[in-house]
Structure 1
Amino acid sequence: MTAAAATSAPSLTRIHHVAYRCNDAAETVEWYARVLGMTFTTAFAEDTVPSTGEDDPYMHVFLDCGGGNVLAFFELPGQPPMGRDPNTPAWVQHLAFEVPDEAALLAAKAHIETQGIDVLGPTFHGVFRSIYFFDPNGHRIELACNIGTDDQYAELRRVAPLMLDEWSRTKRAPRHAEWLHRDPDA
């Protein structure tokens, strides 16, 4: 028996937290509380990185997003300024949060716009609608509400392997779920 055969994949229960970099920890905490209603729960600050032993002072802040989800940020004053991957479009890397329904999505859009923040959307994605905006660190944020039916989600699960296989062969958008692109409200 090989070592790989004697082990099994871990039993994950949820995402503990997702961490991103920020320019200013205090500004980031204030923004996420004011704009998205998150609760600041924890801060860790060290001069030495526990996992590597490097001398690299940091502030690590944690925000409760609801539902057991935690978003965290690192302020790293000893590192070069934040940048973006110049080869990845700004719309690709983003944080997406769920709101209960379309009314909540529209109310969130109105609230965010009153904060002086530009908001794109709502955008139709077949089984959900979304709005998009940027935080003060340049991270793209998405708020989404699910609008699909159980049958639609089941169909998406059924065609997912077929679509991935076709994409892997052709690098062109498969049309196994063409119905996703028809907005009933358009």
Structure 2
Amino acid sequence: MLVQKIHHVAYRCKDAKETVEWYEKHLGMKFVLAIAENEVPSTKAPDPYMHVFLDAGNGNVLAFFELPGQPPMGRDANTPKWVQHLALKVDSMDTLLATKAKLEAAGIEVLGPTNHTIFKSIYFFDPNGHRLELAADTATPEMLHKLDSVKREMLEEWSRTRRAPQHAAWMHDGSHA
């Protein structure tokens, strides 16, 4: 395979300082790097920006661009808010629940935990309007094997019908218990 890992994932932010401080305070991410330019290196277009990088654990980096010369941030109006999100893994359900309590105590609205059978998640928004998900794995090896064995069939059926295949209905009908 050509790709070794994701180097970083970048999003736009309204205010770089506010964003860094929010991620440090609420998710414990370390601020690792800032790059600022008055022109875009790849295109040479004059467009000042601040590019900040945060440690998302295990070599993963979450980055943001503040673009003061561009129109205000928007979002894809044709895509539901629940679709575009960044999911971050936590080590346990205890951590997930403790983080939920911490976020709520800070006045942040949190949805969940939502049971996805193979993981449980909470959902909330950062100060830029980006939806975040924190997920704690709950799958057994058997569950993962079962999903792995039907993934291609599911994709093919979806591709033909654009209807949800039922190969993994056990995840939500209670029969996995």
TM-score for the superposition, normalised by structure 1: 0.92
- SS of the residue corresponding to residue 63 of structure 2 reads strand
- SS of the residue corresponding to residue 65 of structure 2 reads strand
Determine which of 10, 31, 35 is the counterpart of 1:19. 10
Q: Which residue of structure 2 aligns with residue 4 of structure 1?
A: none
2:157 aligned with 1:155: no
Gaps of 5+ in 1: 1-8
Q: Which residue of structure 2 aligns with residue 103 of structure 1?
A: 94
- SS of the residue corresponding to residue 56 of structure 2 reads strand
Q: Note the C-alpha offset of 1:90.
A: 0.3
Residue identity in the other structure for 1:81: P
Contact in 2 for aligned 1:102/1:145 (Cα 8 Å): yes
CA distance in 1, matches of 2:55, 2:21: 13
2:37 aligned with 1:37: no
2:71 aligned with 1:80: yes
2:103 aligned with 1:122: no
Q: Alpha-carbon deviations, 1:40-96, whole Å to 9, x = none?
A: 000000001001110000000000011111000000000000000000000000010
Q: Note the C-alpha offset of 1:154.
A: 1.1
Determine which of 66, 82, 85 is the counterpart of 1:91. 82
Contact in 2 for aligned 1:126/1:183 (Cα 8 Å): no
2:148 aligned with 1:165: no
- Closer, same or farther: CA 66–183 of 1 in aligned 2, 3 Å: farther
Contact in 2 for aligned 1:126/1:179 (Cα 8 Å): no
- SS of the residue corresponding to residue 66 of structure 1 reads coil
Gaps of 5+ in 2: none
After the TM superposition, which segments of 4 or more aligned residues of structure 1 sit over 2 Å from their partners? none
TM-score for the superposition, normalised by structure 2: 0.96
Cα RMSD, aligned residues only: 1.1
Determine which of 37, 41, 44 is the counterpart of 1:50. 41
Of structures 1 and 2, the larger Rg is shown by: 1
CA distance in 2, matches of 1:101, 1:26: 30
CA distance in 1, matches of 2:150, 2:62: 32
Q: Note the C-alpha offset of 1:102.
A: 1.0
Residue identity in the other structure for 2:92: D
Aligned length, in residue pairs: 175
Q: Identity, % of aligned pairs? A: 63
